[in-house]
A = this chain, B = another copy of it.
Amino acid sequence: MMMVMTEEQIEILRHQIVAYTIISEQLCEMYKSFIVQQEDSFGTGEEDLYCDPLMESEAHKIAWRQRWAPTPAQFQILENLFIQDSRTPSKQKIKEITIALAQHGPIAESNVHNWFQNRKAKSKKKKRSASQFTTK
């Protein structure tokens, strides 16, 4: 993709860059202040563990909270549950599991749900790569 541009077009591009840069910065500022307000007003519960995957760019960096990760105790319990039954637990089960795991560290129901989903995907992936050896 090769292009030829006039000085005028370049100039337009410059203005677009400036405009979007300002917009980005302002949006980031607004977003940050809203997050602060959210924490002030109701900063408890599972939202605390939520971590945004928002991308960072040169000029606009936002400090994000770390994402949830199971403590060793939580991990053992989850692994044991998974070995017993690899299916994703029901909503009620997830509630119970979450309550149990909360004794070993901060956790939310969505964390449990995601963990089982990802754990299942991981075991499937492992199985796939294992069967590749047999027939290549």
Contacts and interface: CB of A to CB of B under 8 A. Distances in A.
Contact of A5 (B3, B18, B34, B134): B34
A10 B21 CA distance: 20
A4 B132 contact: no
Interface stretch (A51-59, A82-90, A115-123): A51-59
B46 A1 contact: yes
A14 B31 contact: yes
Interface size class of A (residues with CB under 8 A): 35 or more
A135 to B, nearest CB: 7
Contact of A10 (B17, B28, B38): B38
Contacts of A18: 54-55
A38 B6 CA distance: 9
Most B CB within 10 A of own CB, among A10, A24, A28, A134: A24
10 closest A-B pairs (Cβ-Cβ)? A2-B43, A45-B134, A20-B24, A4-B42, A44-B134, A44-B136, A17-B27, A21-B57, A20-B23, A24-B24
Interface of A: 1-5, 9-10, 13-14, 16-18, 20-25, 27-28, 30-31, 34-35, 37-38, 41-50, 52-55, 57-58, 60, 102, 108-110, 129, 132-136
